[in-house]
Structure 1
Amino acid sequence: MQPAAFTVDIHEGLLRLVATGDWLARHLGRIDGDLRTLEDDAVGRELIIDVSEVGRLDTAGAMVLERLLQSWPDRTEVSRIVGATTAHQQLLDNIRPHLAPCEIEPASRNAFLMMTNRLGRSIAESYYVALEILNFVGLTLVTLWRVMLQPRRLRVTSIFYHLEEAGLNAVPIVGLMSFLIGAVVAFMGAKILRLFNAEVFTVELVGISVLREFGVLLAAILVAGRSGSAFTAAIGTMKIREEIDALRALGLDPMEVLVLPRVIALVVLMPVLAFLAALLGIIGGGLVAWTAMEISPAFFIGRLQDTIAMSNFWVGLIKAPFFAFVIAIVGCFQGMEVAGSSESLGQRTTLSVVQSLFLVIVLDAFFAMFFLEIDY
């Protein structure tokens, strides 16, 4: 059984519609809108409807064909239905006298109700997505425990590959952006503090903000946009090509082969990236303090050591593995959810970045409140 379909071409100045498949009531819903808008492309041409390739035709299908013909603008006797079998022609003849115009009234829409409905659907969808991600987290942890019990199952080569691909290759962009952020924080802070003759406190501003927040947060954001999306794209492409099904057919667990090495690599390397980001951010702030406020590097480093507690440094490093775990889990989860088309791959890659950034910010807010409560 072939569903109803049609093609349109122009032949000798006539618009020719070739109907194919079974024009039955259950197949017409998906093409009815296209048929109703087809007359907008008429541009003064006559219409020929060819039904010679139609398989089965019921009353609804005949009505749709006749309605299209009757509603065609500037129609003359040239416009007609051709190629009908005897049974089809008899059905068309019986339908024609009973065809009456039926205008579709646009559905009345209440903007507030539409907004509320959309909000409710988004909340419900977010709830189910959160459950699926938590389930994926549990599956990842179970796989990790199984690998820890059998270390020979750990794919060390894959881990080192992702250490380089997702981590080491991100060092230039993370370092550059952290350097610039540190310089901007120092410049803007100095501009405000100069109003109170307190430019010297720029050292504390740069040290605390970069070590405690900006360094690790900026590294996580860049890794989420670069490596998290790469995880989704790579696994999603394998899903489209049915390579993941091939792994299962070979008796291999995709969680062990694809997910676990990426998670381990990112968790191991994120503290290194956070440390590098914090270091270069302080260097950027110190350079601005030296050139714009004449604070010498020796004084900057000395005051940094005297006034900045080491707890600010450790807070940034403590957060890094958690950020990495979230980014890797979301990236791999969205890759596994690719439905088998390039459109789905693009949507899942976008979702991966958005969800990773959202969860990183939420985690950062949680850690900020937690460390504030314990006075660390």
Structure 2
Amino acid sequence: MDYGKTLHLPATEFPMRGNLPKCEPEYLKFWEDNKIYEKRLELRKGNKSFVLHDGPPYANGKLHIGHALNKTLKDIIMKYKTMQGFYTPYIPGWDTHGLPIEHAIIKNTGLNRHEMSPLDLRAKCKEYALQCVEEQKKDFIRFGVLGRFEDPYLTLKPAFEVKQLGIFGEMAKRGYIYKGLKTVYWCTHCETALAEAEIEYHEKKSFSIYVKYAYVDEVKRTLPEGVDPAKAYAVIWTTTPWTLPASQAISVNPELEYAWVQVGDEYYLMAVELVDSAMKDAQVEDYKVVKTFPGSDLELATFRHPFIDREVRVLLGDHVTLEAGTGCVHTAPAHGEEDFGIFQKYNKEGKINTEILSFVNATGNYVAAVDNDRYGDTEEPLAGKEIHEAEVPILK
């Protein structure tokens, strides 16, 4: 490798002593006035390149210690590679789109986005983002970072947006783009989708409930001979009762062993290994397993929703485990990734032909359709209620 020429600086220009708040700006001014970054590139021109892509920070506020660590480490690497003889262009950039910017401008300026058109809100976000870029740029330079700060890459620049549209168009030509449903993390407060990296999990206490789904029919009969079908139920367990209005299926594991369990004159369907724990939860001491069979025999059996005039099918899925519950999993494809996946799979295979139902709007409130076709002892409307406020009426 050709190490090229050496860049010489005056040895006595900045004597080694304290008072860094005064000295450091002088160093930076010297680097800028003498175009050290440009001379660095010129000295290594023609040599092997080392390019460090700058994963852009959001232009949504002041810098913090994480930014300082990120940019300082990158700058150390680039200067080290320069001394090794590499050609080291460094182009800083900023992410100027997305929820963090929208959230910051609403928080810092008091804007009410519900009273603004989307275009007006975007214009405000653009103005705020460009302001933050300039402020952050000054601080990055103050950190001693060398790079092409006079012409950074910004995701809102038309050239970048045009390039993205061009790639999108090429993907569409090749048949990679289609319109369909997809599960996403959703924030009902911000009314926007969230990236997986934005999700933080905390311990939470939730209601849990065992629910009976009345027996309707089966493809392979597992119900014991002589048992009255009107006395037979699949029993599910859930810690999200608010999702029950959207229950459209029951999932079982084809590899697990299931049983019909007699309690008095009723018969309950559940996984064999969970019978004892479920009965303990229900404080039932007198019960008897009357028949066992593999979960695969239950495929496409039909049961009835507990409080809506709707039939639900039994689907097979390996996401069903023996960790808790009954081995019969209430499945609401509008509210769970695994539920959605298994429901889509059965629809795609043509084994069912059922539209996914969702009764919750972007703000986390039930819409009017949730109260259609309901039956039972309680008629308290759910429409308009926030999903967690609706849990008690649903439990009732």
TM-score by length of 2: 0.24
* Structure with larger RCO (C-alpha < 8 A, sep 6+): 1
Higher share in strand: 2
Higher share in helix: 1
TM-score by length of 1: 0.25
